[in-house]
Amino acid sequence: MRNGLFFAASLILTLAAVFLVNQWLTSFDNPGYVLIGIGTWQLETSLIVFLVGLIVLFYVLYLLFRWLGWFARLPWQLKNRSRNIKFNRSQDALVAGLVGFAEGRWEQAEKVLIKHASHSGAPLVHYLTAAKAAQSRGAFDKRDEYLKHAAKHASETDMAIGLTKAELQFSANQFEHALETLTKLHSLDATHATVLKLLHQTYQRLGDWQGLRKLLPTLNKNKILMEVEIKKLEVEAFSGLLKQTINQGNINELRLLWTEIPPHLKKNPTIAAIYYAAMIQAGLSADIENELVETLTINWDETLLLLYGSLQSNDVPRQLATAEALLTYHKEDGVLLTILGKLSLKCQELEKAEHYLIASLAVDANVQSYRLLGDLYASKGEDHKANTAYKQGLELASRGVISQLDAAISKP
């Protein structure tokens, strides 16, 4: 429209100029003429007619070339218009697909997104959303196909595509596949926070404690997790490694692993209890007795205390004396009192054993103390007292079983 106005304005100005020039020339006796000769051919005309002819020729050629230019650009304009139409449709399809995905219409969203992905300005979003929709309806083959298309259309965003793939595999419980994907991503960027988070979660789900153990320094160095979370992961990783080694039944491997565990973790009650229990079961109580006492002194723990009481020590009186030393700091500990009664009974110190067991029952009635007290009375020939102790122990055990049954029944 604006070009047409410019053309009309220039034509009017030209005609006005021609009119003024004509008026000026007619004021002379000889308004001038133009003679053009080419070979035997000659053209003679007045100056004003020649000027008008030049102007007309200029406008004719101008219009001609304008039209030729328009025809030359026509295929490109049509193609560009078609592209714009497809692009607009793809944008509408993207919105419709995202809405459909959010509303749980996964198959419909998937079809809309894929149909218009190739014409979109953001094909990556189309394919990744379609992959999520495919997984939501359980079509894992389609999901992987869309992820491959996404990689072809956006090769420069390998990390984004890989992370989406790993997250989808993880959420689908395909942990082996997720680990394979994350391992490749980790090789591309060893400090990527999201990759490291997913990687440690995948190791946890797979029970790959060795892999998690190797990853811990990187998690700590790059501040991926809080210090409390790192410590929790350390305990989980080394606890898992200890249990795996114990299941293999190789005591030498267990000893070797224990030497590789950081000192601060050896004092952790959870890790220490796993190792000491395995060593006691293997008949190697003497190898860990001193270390167990040291750990128990630093971290007072009921499980470690019970393990100490179950040690098959070569010097039971010394074991009893050590336990009595602990009583100085834990006078009201029912478990320790029970263990003292047990060890005293082993040492044939019956009066001391009776004292500790009665004190234990006064703090916290428990089945083991009643049983040990019954054994003590039986060894002394006091059958009535022994039967009474056994009966009280059985009644306590029965109440415990009934309480557990009631709790299980009352659960929704």
- For residue 337, give every residue at least 6 positions away whose Cβ sits within 8 Å of its Cβ, in sequence order, or none: 327, 356, 357, 359, 360, 363, 369
Q: Is 122 left (phi over 0), alpha (psi -120 to 50) or beta?
A: beta
What is the model's pLDDT at position 161? Answer: 85
For tokens 């019954």, the residue is 374
What is the model's pLDDT at position 149? Answer: 81
Label residue 225 by pLDDT band (50, 70, 90): confident
**Spatial separation of the C-alpha atoms in residues 398 and 400, rounded to whole Å:** 5
**Spatial separation of the C-alpha atoms in residues 68 and 72, rounded to whole Å:** 6
What is the model's pLDDT at position 348? Answer: 92
Average the pLDDT over 260-285 and give the result. 93
Please say whether the beta carbons of 376 and 350 come within 8 A: yes
What is the model's pLDDT at position 121? Answer: 61
What is the model's pLDDT at position 270? Answer: 93
**Spatial separation of the C-alpha atoms in residues 219 and 214, rounded to whole Å:** 10
What is the model's pLDDT at position 275? Answer: 95
- For residue 153, give every residue at least 6 positions away whose Cβ sits within 8 Å of its Cβ, in sequence order, or none: 117, 123, 124, 127
103-112, 180-189, 248-257 — which is least confidently predicted? Answer: 103-112
CA distance to 89, 356, 375, per residue, from 381 (Å): 97, 19, 10
Higher pLDDT, 290 or 57: 290
Average the pLDDT over 282-298 and give the result. 92
Average the pLDDT over 103-115 and give the result. 75
What is the model's pLDDT at position 179? Answer: 94
What is the model's pLDDT at position 92? Answer: 65
Residue 208: pLDDT over 60: yes
Q: How many CB atoms lie within 10 A of CB 241?
A: 20
pLDDT above 70 covers what percent of the chain? 75
Q: How many CB atoms lie within 10 A of CB 404?
A: 10
Element housing 186 (H / E): helix 175-188
Q: pLDDT per residue over 156-187, tens digit each?
A: 557 888 888 899 999 999 999 999 999 999 98
* pTM for this entry: 0.69
CATH of domain 318-402: 1.25.40.10
Average pLDDT, the chain: 82
End-to-end CA distance of the chain: 77
Q: pLDDT per residue over 76-96, tens digit each?
A: 655 656 555 555 566 666 666
Q: pLDDT per residue over 3-53, tens digit each?
A: 556 656 666 776 666 666 666 656 665 666 666 777 777 766 666 666 666
* Domain range list for the chain: 250-314, 318-402
Please say whether the beta carbons of 113 and 126 come within 8 A: yes
Assign 38 to helix, strand or coil.
strand
Q: pLDDT per residue over 325-344, tens digit each?
A: 998 888 889 999 999 999 99
CB crowding 243-271: b at 16 or more within 10 Å, else e? eebbeeeebeebeebbeebeeebbbbbbb
Average the pLDDT over 210-228 and give the result. 90
